[in-house]
Structures are given as structure tokens and as C-alpha cells.
Structure 1
Amino acid sequence: MRKCRIAYLACTAAIIGTGLGAAPPVTGHRIHLVAPGESIQKAVDAAQSGDTVLVSPGVYHESVTVKTPRLTLSGMGPGTVIEPGADAATTAQTPSTTQTAGTKKSVSCAEAGNGICVLGTKEQDVEGVTVANLTVTGFARAGVFGMATDGLTVRRVNAVRNAVWGIAQERSVRSVLRDNSAQDNGDAGLFLANTINEEQGAADTRGTLIERNWLQGNRIGVTVRRLRDLTVASNRLTGNCAAVFLVGDENKPKAGALTVRDNYVEHNNKSCPKTDRLPAIQGSGIVLTGTEDVLVTGNTIKDNVGSSPLSGGIVLFKSFVGVTSERNRIQDNALRGNAPADIVNTETNKGSNTFQRNSCRASTPAGLC
């Protein structure tokens, strides 16, 4: 059996090279093959930095925590499916620890309601982890969740029908979320924040890239909350209640220095009820609230229609805590068929934001097209 497994691993080097877009493993780095009925977590725990855990097609009922730097966790395509196990949470909890009677209690990835967790610590980010080529579905919180990561790559992951987020991260830098599919998740398909449970100023992501993802049927396609130095590019967003939300607040530094470019944003007309944070939303394309120095350019935005205060093709909305959006540039976008208008600016500080060379028919107030 051992000889068969080694021979099989030799054959899988080509699969990894093709599936991950990378060269075969460096000499000395191991491939840990997981077959149906085996534990992914045991393979991850046995792996060392630079190793690959390769998961065969099949359904795996477990959550997986990765804390080893430069580890690759890869399936063999959407037929590698990770679903909740018997110890999974039924409701979302705080991701890492909870406070009980003055002491901190560790909360596992499964107990927090997540599928795959990539976790660093307050003292040290976990570096260079890749999660790729698999499906995560049915979790009470997020399909994939990263915290305190540096250089996390998530690609060709299908995150579907998770109760809160498809793929989410906080306190992370230099991430690449590319070629993923996030569908029918309860909140955002992709959610990126400085911190989730605290009020702090915007954090510098040092160039995080959200690129070429397909986001459909979520409450919000992409949410970027209290972050700076991040790009949302060439994604397809359709059938969500809202496509892209860029969110800031009164803390310093303000959210901003973001780029949203070359995205296809169409028919995000699913209707979602209000929450503690937001009113009911429907027909929202790209929404900026409480941001500064954001460039929105080269996007195709059409047929996003609703009657929410946040409805419209590109919407600059006054922050719910009274913070204005400043020095944002909306230029060279193609908009049509959005209602109540292609461009909506409800900001009180209207003169600070600029609108140039956009192809559109109607704006509120008039004159922005």
C-alpha cells in the first residue's frame, strides 16, 4: 500500500503544477495525499512549511485549521467538498477566543462556525498559505476565514451557501483572492475588514488584490470595511442585493486609497431586509460610504434597480455615523439602466468628489454624467 501511495504522489505533482499554476514541489517538500474517509486536519498537522496537502475528490465532514506558514491546502477541483462535521457550530461565534469569567477560552474553527481557518497570532502573522481548488459549503459562519495572515492566497475556491460569508479575512495583509466563486452566502461573498468585533481605524492591507471572482446571489458581493491600499478588479457580480460595498466610519485613519476597476456589475436586484447595520438593500451597484481617495474606474454597471436609499449604479452615501466621503474619483465607467439613477451622490460634501468621463444617462443630482 505504501508503494502505491508513493507512486500516486509522484503522479500528482503534475496535477498540482497545473491546478495551482505553480511549478512542481521543491525537492524536500512533501505532498500529503488525503483520500475520502481520511482526516484533512491530520494531514495538515503532519505537514511542515512548504508542504502541500492534496485532497482527493469526495465529501469531507470537518473543519480545518491551518497555522503552518507556506502550506498549500488544495483540492482537485469543485468535487473536493468540505462540509460541516458533527462538532460544527450551528451559529457563528467569535473566531479565536471568547471571554468567560475573566479567562479566555479557545474556540476552534468548527466551534466558530467556519470551514477552513488560516490563523496567525497577535504576535506573528502566518505567512504564505494557499487554499485552492475545492468547495466549502453549509457552514454557520464562513467557508474560508483568515485572521492575522500575510500573503494568503485563496483561488479557485467555490464558497456556496454559508450562513454569513463565503470567504472572509481580518487583520491580514498582501492577500490575493483570485478566480473564486462565492454564491448564495448569507452576507458577503467576499468580506475583508481590519477587525470584525472592534472599532479601529482603517488598516493598510499592503496591496491586497480581489480579482476575477464570480459573486452571485449573496447579500453583498464584496464588502471592504475599514481598509486601505486594496484593489477590486475584473470581478463579475450579478444577482446580489448589492455588488460592492466600501465602508468607512469616524475612526482614523479613514478607509480609502482603494481602487475598484474593470468589474462587470449587472442586475444586482435581489431584495434583502434591513439589518442592525444597514437598511433594506436592493439594486445597489458600487456603494461608497465614509471613504476617501477611492478610484472607481473602467467598470460596466447596468440594470441595478431598487428603491432602497442605497440603490443605483454608483452610490456615494453619507456614512451612518455622519462621516463624509472625500476626494473620491468616479471616472471612465459605463453605466446604463440603473435606477433610481446611474450615479447617485447623497453626500453633503459634494464638491470634494469628482465625476469625469462616465457614460451614463441619469444622475442624482443632475449633471454628474
Structure 2
Amino acid sequence: MTKCHIAYLACTAAIIGAGLGAAPPAGAAHMTHVVFPGESIQKVVDAAEPGDTVLLTTGTYRESVTVTTPGITLRGMGRETVIQPSTEKAADRCAEDGNGICVVGTKDRNVEDVTVASLTVTGFAGSGVFALATDGLTVRNVTAVKNGVWGIAQERSVRGVFRKNTARDNGDAGLFLANAIKAEEGAADTEGTVVARNRLEGNRIGLTVRRLRNLTVADNLMTGNCAGVFVVGDENKPRAGALTVRDNRVEGNNKSCPKTARLEALQGSGIVLTGTEDTLVTGNRVTDNAGKSSLSGGIVLFKSFVGTPGERNRIADNQLSGNSPADLVNTDTGESNIFSGNSCGASKPAGLC
């Protein structure tokens, strides 16, 4: 073995030690599989067992990756571990759909306890990270940049944790959570999904929560999007809601976005609730969101796009300033929504501050 090879192995061992801490004791079942640029991530993921870690070293990887085995951790070494689209013909469904990393269960069984962490996904026509039928998925310290649709997206899943990610300049939402993307169904119980301490910047919408219940959105920064947060429901039952949006900074979401088949043109929307029930919006700092859309303003209650009013939503103890046409906007026809304890300068209609 050459001195160069010995030094290379020593360097690799140092990288693994720095990234993962002490090695497991001899005979431990879980393994760490190290992948270098130019090698196939997918082959290593397919060979990994539940509880294993697939560690991607710094560099650029040109492929899409599908995870279907429970308990796997797919981890990079930080933002300089970059996954981009392959220059070759799509080899699987994940790549065919234009996605970067796909974590996918089946119709009958969710894939459990997968972690995606500490890497960048960029340039995909669909989503940087896409998850379907998962239970306990964790996505943390992922940078999703300039993907065509969503930065990080999940549907039909429970108990997810999305923490300390950056989603920037994606075509639609930086972070998109839904019961089902295509089907018209009632809201799904996420069983406590958490979206916390993410930076969502320069997207069409920072965060979209569509037809979901029982989750928390906390301590995130939404800035430079066309809209900061959308919580979306409709006439289907159970209704969307029974969730909390708290302690977020929603600042200067004044990018201008043209209308789409589903949504009018957007600009200057801070936090929007449409067609929801029993949603608590509290402790947020919402500033300098300004536009001329019917959805513009600091915190906006808007009847659903099929005309269903919101019910029993509570907007309380938020700090708002510099939003236009007003800090608080209520065009919802529901009569049981409550505004209380907010610090703000102007509301539409008057009297909500």
C-alpha cells in the first residue's frame, strides 16, 4: 500500500470521525457507507440496511436518488456536497419526475425513520427533495436551491421534522406539505409534523401547508418570497386547520409573481389563511409585506377559493408593521374568527388592531 493511499484512508477516517463522532463498537449492526464524487449514490443506498448511514463526501453528484428502505440516513458533509440532475437519460421514476432525492413508501406501508441531511440539491425540474408515504422523515440542514417546482415537498406522510433547511429561489414553494398533491380529499392528520428554524427565501411561496391538520410551524424566517406562508383549506372534510403558526419572522415578501391556473398574481403577502379552522397564529413578527393583490397584507384571512369561510381561527399577540394594504386583513366571511392582542398600525376592516 502506497504512502499516498495510506494518507488518503487516514483523511477519509478523519472526515467520518468529524462528521459522525466516535465509531460504533466492534460487531455493531449499523454501518456507515462512504460515497465519493463519481460513484453511484443509488447503488450504495440500495445495498444499505435499516439503521445504516450513507455518507456523501464533499463534491458534486449528478444523479437522482430514491430511498425506500426504512431507517436509512443519507447525509452529506454540508452545503458543498451537491446533488444535481444527471446529464444522462432518466433511469427511474424519481429522475423521470424531475426530482433530486425521493423518499417513497407504498400505498399500504409508509417508509419509516429516514433522514436526509447536510447537503445541497439544485437544478431539478421538479423538487429538490420529494417525500411520499413517510413516517418520521427528518430533513435537516438541506439547501434546496433553484428547483423548478418545490425545494422540499412531502405528501401523504406523518410525524415529519423539517428543521434548519434553506429553500431559495424555487419555482413554487420553498417547502410544500400536503395531504395529496392531485386528489381532492379532506385534510390529513400529520400526527405532529414540525417545521422549524428554516430559511425560506426568494420562492413563489415560502411555505405552503395544504389540506393538513395537527402540525406546528415555528421560528422560521420567510423573506423575499411573493408570499411568506399559505395555509390552505377548502370545503372537503375534515377541514384544514387545528395547527399552529408561531414565532416566525415574515419580512419583506414583495417579490412579484404572475397568476397561475390555481392562484392569482401574488405580491406582498405575509401569512395567509384560506378556508381553515381552529388555526392559531401567534407571536409572529410580520413586517414590510406590501402589494396590491387581494391576498396582500401582513396577516390575511381569506375565504377559500371555493367560497368556504374560515372558522374559529385565532390571530393573537403578533407584532406587525409596514404591511400594505394593512397589517391585518380580514376578507373572510366567517364570524367566529378572533383577532386579539396584536400590535399593529392599521387593519382592513378597521378595528382589528
When normalised by structure 1's length, the TM-score is: 0.91
Looking at structure 2, the residues matched to 151 and 4 of structure 1 have their Cα atoms a distance apart, in angstroms, of 39
Looking at structure 2, the residues matched to 116 and 83 of structure 1 have their Cα atoms a distance apart, in angstroms, of 10
1:359 aligns with 2:334: no
Aligned length: 348
3-state SS in 1 of match to 2:243: strand
Structure 1 residues 145-294: aligned runs within 5 Å: 145-294=130-279
Aligned match for 1:142, one of 121, 127, 139: 127
3-state SS in 1 of match to 2:14: helix
Structure 1 residues 63-102: aligned runs within 5 Å: 63-87=64-88
Looking at structure 2, the residues matched to 201 and 24 of structure 1 have their Cα atoms a distance apart, in angstroms, of 46
How much has 1:14 moved relative to structure 2? 3.0
Partner of 2:309: 324
Checking the alignment, whether the CA contact within 8 Å between 1:127 and 1:149 is kept in structure 2 is yes
How much has 1:138 moved relative to structure 2? 0.4
Partner of 1:35: 36
Looking at structure 2, the residues matched to 45 and 57 of structure 1 have their Cα atoms a distance apart, in angstroms, of 21
1:299 aligns with 2:284: yes
Partner of 2:18: 15
- CA offsets 1:74-113 (integer angstroms, 9 cap, x no match): 0001000000002466xxxxxxxxxxxxxxxx96100011
Looking at structure 2, the residues matched to 142 and 164 of structure 1 have their Cα atoms a distance apart, in angstroms, of 6
One-letter amino acid of the structure 2 residue matched with residue 85 of structure 1: S
Deviation beyond 4 Å, 4+ runs, structure 1: 1-10, 23-26
How much has 1:17 moved relative to structure 2? 3.2
How much has 1:238 moved relative to structure 2? 0.4
Looking at structure 2, the residues matched to 233 and 173 of structure 1 have their Cα atoms a distance apart, in angstroms, of 17
How much has 1:205 moved relative to structure 2? 0.2
Looking at structure 1, the residues matched to 257 and 122 of structure 2 have their Cα atoms a distance apart, in angstroms, of 21
3-state SS in 2 of match to 1:43: helix
5+ residue gaps, structure 2: none
When normalised by structure 2's length, the TM-score is: 0.95
Looking at structure 2, the residues matched to 286 and 14 of structure 1 have their Cα atoms a distance apart, in angstroms, of 42
Aligned match for 2:108, one of 112, 123, 140: 123
Q: Flag the 1:5–1:152 CA change in 2: closer, same or farther, 3 A.
A: farther
Q: Flag the 1:39–1:297 CA change in 2: closer, same or farther, 3 A.
A: same
One-letter amino acid of the structure 1 residue matched with residue 119 of structure 2: L
One-letter amino acid of the structure 1 residue matched with residue 283 of structure 2: G
One-letter amino acid of the structure 1 residue matched with residue 234 of structure 2: D
Q: RMSD between aligned alpha carbons?
A: 1.7
- CA offsets 1:223-243 (integer angstroms, 9 cap, x no match): 000000011100011000000
How much has 1:313 moved relative to structure 2? 0.2
Looking at structure 1, the residues matched to 226 and 257 of structure 2 have their Cα atoms a distance apart, in angstroms, of 6
Q: Flag the 1:62–1:249 CA change in 2: closer, same or farther, 3 A.
A: same
3-state SS in 1 of match to 2:151: strand
Q: Flag the 1:150–1:246 CA change in 2: closer, same or farther, 3 A.
A: same
One-letter amino acid of the structure 2 residue matched with residue 16 of structure 1: G
5+ residue gaps, structure 1: 90-105
3-state SS in 1 of match to 2:51: coil
